[in-house]
Protein backbone atom coordinates (compact mmCIF):
# COMPACT_ATOMS: atom_id res chain seq x y z
CA UNK A 1 0.00 0.00 0.00
CA UNK A 2 2.85 2.41 0.84
CA UNK A 3 4.52 1.64 -2.50
CA UNK A 4 1.32 2.53 -4.39
CA UNK A 5 1.01 5.82 -2.50
CA UNK A 6 4.66 6.67 -3.21
CA UNK A 7 4.16 5.90 -6.90
CA UNK A 8 1.07 8.17 -6.94
CA UNK A 9 3.08 11.04 -5.44
CA UNK A 10 5.78 10.67 -8.08
CA UNK A 11 3.16 10.57 -10.86
CA UNK A 12 1.36 13.64 -9.45
CA UNK A 13 4.62 15.58 -9.15
CA UNK A 14 5.60 14.67 -12.72
CA UNK A 15 2.18 15.75 -14.02
CA UNK A 16 2.50 19.12 -12.33
CA UNK A 17 5.86 19.63 -13.98
CA UNK A 18 4.42 18.62 -17.35
CA UNK A 19 1.28 20.78 -17.30
CA UNK A 20 2.08 23.71 -15.00
CA UNK A 21 5.09 25.15 -16.82
CA UNK A 22 5.13 28.97 -16.57
CA UNK A 23 4.11 30.79 -19.75
CA UNK A 24 6.84 32.48 -21.73
CA UNK A 25 6.77 36.26 -21.29
CA UNK A 26 5.98 37.86 -24.67
CA UNK A 27 7.82 40.66 -26.40
CA UNK A 28 5.78 43.61 -27.61
CA UNK A 29 5.81 46.00 -30.53
CA UNK A 30 3.72 49.16 -30.69
CA UNK A 31 2.52 50.71 -33.97
CA UNK A 32 0.64 53.98 -34.08
CA UNK A 33 0.23 54.28 -37.84
CA UNK A 34 1.72 53.73 -41.29
CA UNK A 35 3.22 56.51 -43.41
CA UNK A 36 2.89 56.47 -47.20
CA UNK A 37 5.88 57.77 -49.15
CA UNK A 38 5.36 58.89 -52.75
CA UNK A 39 8.15 58.11 -55.23
CA UNK A 40 7.07 60.46 -58.03
CA UNK A 41 4.37 62.95 -58.99
CA UNK A 42 2.62 60.39 -61.19
CA UNK A 43 1.42 58.62 -58.02
CA UNK A 44 -0.54 61.60 -56.73
CA UNK A 45 -1.17 62.39 -53.07
CA UNK A 46 0.33 60.66 -50.04
CA UNK A 47 -3.12 60.59 -48.43
CA UNK A 48 -3.90 57.13 -47.06
CA UNK A 49 -6.33 55.38 -44.76
CA UNK A 50 -4.31 52.40 -43.57
CA UNK A 51 -6.33 50.94 -40.72
CA UNK A 52 -4.59 47.63 -40.01
CA UNK A 53 -1.19 45.97 -39.71
CA UNK A 54 -0.70 42.40 -40.93
CA UNK A 55 2.21 41.09 -38.83
CA UNK A 56 4.59 38.39 -40.05
CA UNK A 57 7.56 37.04 -38.06
CA UNK A 58 10.08 35.02 -40.07
CA UNK A 59 7.42 34.55 -42.74
CA UNK A 60 4.67 33.36 -40.37
CA UNK A 61 1.45 35.36 -40.00
CA UNK A 62 1.07 36.35 -36.34
CA UNK A 63 -2.18 38.27 -36.69
CA UNK A 64 -4.00 41.30 -38.06
CA UNK A 65 -4.23 44.29 -35.72
CA UNK A 66 -6.23 47.50 -35.97
CA UNK A 67 -4.04 50.56 -35.52
CA UNK A 68 -2.90 51.96 -33.17
CA UNK A 69 -2.03 48.75 -31.34
CA UNK A 70 0.42 47.17 -28.91
CA UNK A 71 1.07 43.66 -30.21
CA UNK A 72 2.33 40.69 -28.16
CA UNK A 73 4.82 38.41 -29.91
CA UNK A 74 6.05 35.14 -28.41
CA UNK A 75 9.56 35.53 -29.75
CA UNK A 76 12.85 36.97 -28.55
CA UNK A 77 16.09 37.95 -30.23
CA UNK A 78 16.59 39.17 -33.80
CA UNK A 79 13.69 38.25 -36.05
CA UNK A 80 12.54 39.29 -39.51
CA UNK A 81 9.53 41.57 -39.11
CA UNK A 82 7.28 42.04 -42.14
CA UNK A 83 4.29 44.38 -41.78
CA UNK A 84 1.72 44.71 -44.56
CA UNK A 85 -0.58 47.76 -44.66
CA UNK A 86 -4.24 46.80 -44.34
CA UNK A 87 -7.44 48.58 -45.39
CA UNK A 88 -11.18 48.21 -45.06
CA UNK A 89 -12.14 47.30 -48.61
CA UNK A 90 -15.13 49.35 -49.78
CA UNK A 91 -15.10 50.91 -46.30
CA UNK A 92 -16.52 47.72 -44.77
CA UNK A 93 -15.11 46.80 -41.35
CA UNK A 94 -15.79 43.10 -41.97
CA UNK A 95 -13.83 43.14 -45.26
CA UNK A 96 -10.27 43.85 -44.13
CA UNK A 97 -7.56 43.19 -46.72
CA UNK A 98 -3.88 43.72 -47.28
CA UNK A 99 -3.77 46.57 -49.80
CA UNK A 100 -2.09 44.89 -52.77
CA UNK A 101 -0.51 48.05 -54.18
CA UNK A 102 1.35 49.07 -50.99
CA UNK A 103 4.69 47.40 -50.27
CA UNK A 104 5.31 45.82 -46.85
CA UNK A 105 7.59 47.28 -44.21
CA UNK A 106 10.56 44.91 -43.88
CA UNK A 107 13.05 45.07 -40.98
CA UNK A 108 15.20 42.92 -38.71
CA UNK A 109 14.14 43.63 -35.14
CA UNK A 110 15.50 42.52 -31.76
CA UNK A 111 12.55 41.39 -29.67
CA UNK A 112 13.00 41.63 -25.90
CA UNK A 113 10.63 39.81 -23.50
CA UNK A 114 8.42 42.10 -21.41
CA UNK A 115 9.58 45.15 -23.38
CA UNK A 116 7.75 47.35 -25.89
CA UNK A 117 9.53 48.37 -29.10
CA UNK A 118 8.12 51.32 -31.04
CA UNK A 119 7.79 50.61 -34.76
CA UNK A 120 7.13 53.42 -37.26
CA UNK A 121 6.44 51.55 -40.50
CA UNK A 122 6.49 53.21 -43.89
CA UNK A 123 5.21 52.00 -47.23
CA UNK A 124 5.15 53.02 -50.87
CA UNK A 125 3.36 51.95 -54.01
CA UNK A 126 4.79 48.97 -55.85
CA UNK A 127 6.31 49.60 -59.27
CA UNK A 128 4.66 49.17 -62.68
CA UNK A 129 1.20 50.31 -61.62
CA UNK A 130 -1.20 52.21 -63.84
CA UNK A 131 -2.41 55.48 -62.25
CA UNK A 132 -5.26 57.67 -63.43
CA UNK A 133 -5.45 60.75 -61.24
CA UNK A 134 -7.88 63.64 -60.94
CA UNK A 135 -6.79 65.92 -58.11
CA UNK A 136 -8.63 69.01 -59.43
CA UNK A 137 -5.46 71.09 -59.39
CA UNK A 138 -5.67 71.92 -63.12
CA UNK A 139 -8.19 74.41 -64.57
CA UNK A 140 -9.93 71.59 -66.49
CA UNK A 141 -11.14 68.39 -64.84
CA UNK A 142 -11.60 64.95 -66.44
CA UNK A 143 -15.33 64.47 -65.90
CA UNK A 144 -18.13 65.21 -68.36
CA UNK A 145 -21.77 65.92 -67.51
CA UNK A 146 -24.25 63.48 -69.04
CA UNK A 147 -27.04 64.85 -71.23
CA UNK A 148 -29.62 63.94 -68.57
CA UNK A 149 -27.78 65.82 -65.84
CA UNK A 150 -29.15 69.02 -64.33
CA UNK A 151 -25.93 69.79 -62.44
CA UNK A 152 -22.21 69.37 -63.02
CA UNK A 153 -18.91 69.37 -61.18
CA UNK A 154 -16.79 72.48 -60.77
CA UNK A 155 -13.40 73.21 -59.22
CA UNK A 156 -13.19 75.32 -56.07
CA UNK A 157 -10.16 76.70 -54.27
CA UNK A 158 -11.37 79.05 -51.53
CA UNK A 159 -10.27 78.06 -48.00
CA UNK A 160 -13.69 78.73 -46.47
CA UNK A 161 -14.94 75.58 -48.24
CA UNK A 162 -12.85 73.42 -45.86
CA UNK A 163 -10.89 71.75 -48.66
CA UNK A 164 -8.71 68.68 -48.17
CA UNK A 165 -5.53 69.34 -50.20
CA UNK A 166 -5.38 72.33 -52.50
CA UNK A 167 -8.35 72.59 -54.86
CA UNK A 168 -11.30 70.21 -54.95
CA UNK A 169 -14.18 69.23 -57.19
CA UNK A 170 -17.68 70.01 -55.97
CA UNK A 171 -21.23 69.18 -57.00
CA UNK A 172 -23.93 71.44 -55.57
CA UNK A 173 -27.68 71.00 -56.06
CA UNK A 174 -30.87 72.69 -54.91
CA UNK A 175 -34.56 71.87 -55.03
CA UNK A 176 -34.80 72.77 -58.73
CA UNK A 177 -32.30 70.05 -59.67
CA UNK A 178 -33.44 66.43 -59.54
CA UNK A 179 -30.54 64.52 -61.10
CA UNK A 180 -26.78 64.85 -61.57
CA UNK A 181 -24.52 62.48 -63.48
CA UNK A 182 -20.87 62.96 -64.44
CA UNK A 183 -18.77 60.47 -66.41
CA UNK A 184 -15.19 59.78 -67.39
CA UNK A 185 -14.09 59.26 -70.99
CA UNK A 186 -10.87 57.25 -70.76
CA UNK A 187 -9.67 54.64 -73.26
CA UNK A 188 -7.30 53.19 -70.66
CA UNK A 189 -10.26 52.13 -68.53
CA UNK A 190 -11.08 49.53 -71.19
CA UNK A 191 -8.22 47.55 -69.59
CA UNK A 192 -10.07 47.12 -66.30
CA UNK A 193 -9.61 43.52 -65.08
CA UNK A 194 -12.73 41.35 -65.31
CA UNK A 195 -11.48 38.65 -62.96
CA UNK A 196 -12.65 39.06 -59.36
CA UNK A 197 -9.19 38.01 -58.11
CA UNK A 198 -7.19 40.55 -60.15
CA UNK A 199 -7.07 43.81 -58.16
CA UNK A 200 -8.08 47.24 -59.38
CA UNK A 201 -9.01 50.02 -56.98
CA UNK A 202 -10.43 53.51 -56.82
CA UNK A 203 -8.94 55.65 -54.08
CA UNK A 204 -10.96 58.71 -53.22
CA UNK A 205 -11.11 61.51 -50.66
CA UNK A 206 -14.64 62.83 -50.33
CA UNK A 207 -16.95 64.87 -48.10
CA UNK A 208 -20.71 64.88 -48.63
CA UNK A 209 -23.90 65.94 -46.88
CA UNK A 210 -26.03 63.87 -49.28
CA UNK A 211 -25.63 60.33 -50.70
CA UNK A 212 -23.94 59.82 -54.05
CA UNK A 213 -23.46 56.70 -56.16
CA UNK A 214 -20.24 55.66 -57.88
CA UNK A 215 -20.40 52.98 -60.54
CA UNK A 216 -19.03 51.63 -63.80
CA UNK A 217 -20.22 52.05 -67.37
CA UNK A 218 -19.84 49.00 -69.60
CA UNK A 219 -20.40 48.25 -73.26
CA UNK A 220 -19.81 45.35 -75.63
CA UNK A 221 -20.51 44.67 -79.32
CA UNK A 222 -24.17 43.89 -78.61
CA UNK A 223 -24.85 47.11 -76.68
CA UNK A 224 -25.41 50.36 -78.61
CA UNK A 225 -24.70 52.55 -75.58
CA UNK A 226 -23.13 52.36 -72.16
CA UNK A 227 -25.00 50.46 -69.47
CA UNK A 228 -24.65 51.42 -65.81
CA UNK A 229 -23.73 49.20 -62.88
CA UNK A 230 -23.62 50.71 -59.41
CA UNK A 231 -20.51 49.90 -57.38
CA UNK A 232 -21.34 51.68 -54.10
CA UNK A 233 -23.50 54.43 -52.62
CA UNK A 234 -21.62 56.65 -50.20
CA UNK A 235 -23.54 57.84 -47.17
CA UNK A 236 -23.06 61.41 -45.89
CA UNK A 237 -19.90 62.16 -43.92
CA UNK A 238 -21.34 65.30 -42.30
CA UNK A 239 -24.45 67.40 -41.73
CA UNK A 240 -23.17 70.90 -40.91
CA UNK A 241 -19.37 71.20 -40.81
CA UNK A 242 -17.40 69.52 -43.62
CA UNK A 243 -15.78 66.19 -42.66
CA UNK A 244 -13.54 64.36 -45.14
CA UNK A 245 -13.21 60.61 -45.52
CA UNK A 246 -11.07 58.33 -47.69
CA UNK A 247 -12.10 55.03 -49.21
CA UNK A 248 -10.64 52.17 -51.27
CA UNK A 249 -13.22 50.78 -53.71
CA UNK A 250 -12.69 47.40 -55.37
CA UNK A 251 -13.55 47.71 -59.07
CA UNK A 252 -13.74 43.96 -59.90
CA UNK A 253 -16.79 43.74 -57.62
CA UNK A 254 -18.58 45.30 -60.61
CA UNK A 255 -16.44 44.53 -63.69
CA UNK A 256 -16.34 40.77 -63.09
CA UNK A 257 -20.01 40.56 -64.13
CA UNK A 258 -19.22 41.80 -67.64
CA UNK A 259 -16.59 39.48 -69.10
CA UNK A 260 -17.62 40.30 -72.67
CA UNK A 261 -17.32 44.07 -72.20
CA UNK A 262 -14.89 45.88 -74.50
CA UNK A 263 -15.33 49.37 -73.04
CA UNK A 264 -15.49 50.69 -69.48
CA UNK A 265 -15.81 54.08 -67.85
CA UNK A 266 -16.87 55.47 -64.46
CA UNK A 267 -19.82 57.57 -63.41
CA UNK A 268 -20.95 59.47 -60.31
CA UNK A 269 -24.64 60.22 -59.83
CA UNK A 270 -26.90 61.99 -57.33
CA UNK A 271 -30.70 61.69 -57.28
CA UNK A 272 -32.44 64.46 -55.35
CA UNK A 273 -35.73 62.60 -54.79
CA UNK A 274 -37.00 64.91 -52.04
CA UNK A 275 -35.92 68.08 -53.85
CA UNK A 276 -33.59 69.11 -51.04
CA UNK A 277 -31.65 72.35 -50.97
CA UNK A 278 -27.96 72.92 -50.23
CA UNK A 279 -26.70 69.51 -51.40
CA UNK A 280 -22.91 69.54 -51.44
CA UNK A 281 -20.53 66.73 -52.49
CA UNK A 282 -16.77 67.38 -52.48
CA UNK A 283 -14.09 65.22 -54.17
CA UNK A 284 -10.31 65.20 -54.08
CA UNK A 285 -7.44 62.87 -55.02
CA UNK A 286 -9.47 60.58 -57.26
CA UNK A 287 -7.16 57.69 -58.25
CA UNK A 288 -7.79 54.63 -60.38
CA UNK A 289 -5.03 52.03 -59.92
CA UNK A 290 -4.34 48.63 -61.44
CA UNK A 291 -1.36 46.58 -62.60
CA UNK A 292 -0.21 47.14 -66.16
Query: Is the bond leading into 63 cis (omega within 30 degrees of zero)?
Result: no
Per-residue confidence of the chain (292 residues) as pLDDT tens digits? 434 433 333 444 444 444 555 677 899 999 999 999 998 889 999 999 999 999 999 999 999 999 999 999 999 999 999 999 999 999 999 999 999 999 999 999 999 999 999 999 999 999 999 999 999 999 999 999 999 999 999 999 987 778 999 999 999 999 999 999 999 999 999 999 999 999 999 999 999 999 999 999 999 989 889 999 999 999 999 999 999 999 999 999 999 999 999 999 999 999 999 999 999 999 999 999 999 8
- Give every CB contact of residue 47 below 8 A, 6+ residues apart in sequence: 36, 164, 165, 203, 205, 246, 285
Q: What is the pLDDT of residue 19?
A: 52
Whether residue 252 contacts residue 195, with contact meaning beta carbons closer than 8 Å, is answered with: yes
CATH number of 22-124: 2.60.40
What is the distance between the alpha carbons of residues 173 and 13, in angstroms, rounded to a whole number? 79
Candidates 3.40.50.1470, 3.40.190.10, 3.40.50.300, 2.60.120.260; CATH matching 132-291: 2.60.120.260
Q: Where in the chain is the domain with CATH 2.60.120.260?
A: 132-291
Query: Which residue, among 189, 232, 251, has the nearest Cα to 92 in the 3D structure?
Result: 232
Q: Where in the chain is the domain with CATH 2.60.40?
A: 22-124
Report which secondary-structure segment, H or E, holds 64.
strand 60-66
Whether residue 88 contacts residue 203, with contact meaning beta carbons closer than 8 Å, is answered with: no
Amino acid sequence: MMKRFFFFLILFHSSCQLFDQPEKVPSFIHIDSFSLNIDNNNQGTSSEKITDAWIYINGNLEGVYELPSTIPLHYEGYKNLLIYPGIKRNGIAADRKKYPFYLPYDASTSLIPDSIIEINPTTQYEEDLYFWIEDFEDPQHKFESHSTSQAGITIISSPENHLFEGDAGVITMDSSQYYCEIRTNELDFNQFPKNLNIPAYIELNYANNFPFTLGILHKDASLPAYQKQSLITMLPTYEDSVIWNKTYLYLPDATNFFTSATEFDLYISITNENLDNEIKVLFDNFKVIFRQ
